[in-house]
Amino acid sequence: MVSLSQTRVRMLRSNWSRFPSMAATVGTSLDRPLIESIDTALSALGTSTRDSVLLYLRKRYSISLEETPQRMDEFLQALHALLGYGARVIEKLVIARLVETNEIPLAEARGRNLAEIVTLLSKGRNKARPTV
């Protein structure tokens, strides 16, 4: 017979295998800070809630944390479907983290939602990149 504590340990171990590491390949220079900011914002809800949200996004919408920069609109729609107005709070936490880490200037972030900021920054950073 398996004890309750053994079951909890197994669940904790298996939770980590559900989510790929944050070291996955990312496309643009904004991707890594954006992924880390999203992870930090979701972690503000608590580890188990963060894991539950990520599992829901993966199972229901086939969106992993690493794919969020490329699938921002889908990610935000799924987040709104799950959290309602709470998704806007997560968006604000992500934006605040991007400003805090100097990825975006505060002036560019004011009055914009996350999708607008990502679009604006990805256009700006792609123009600045030299073509090879």
**Residue 45 near residue 76, CB atoms below 8 Å:** no
What's the confidence (pLDDT) of residue 27? 52
Supply the pTM of this predicted model. Answer: 0.72
pLDDT tens per residue across span 92-121: 999 999 999 998 999 989 999 999 998 887
Domains of the chain and CATH, by start? 27-128 (1.10.1200.200)
Alpha carbon 70 to its chain centroid, in Å, reads 11
Is pLDDT at 23 greater than 60 in this prediction?
no
Phi, psi of 37 (to 5 degrees): -70, -40
Cα separation, 68 vs 26, whole angstroms: 10
Phi, psi of 126 (to 5 degrees): -70, -35
Longest dimension (CA), the chain: 62
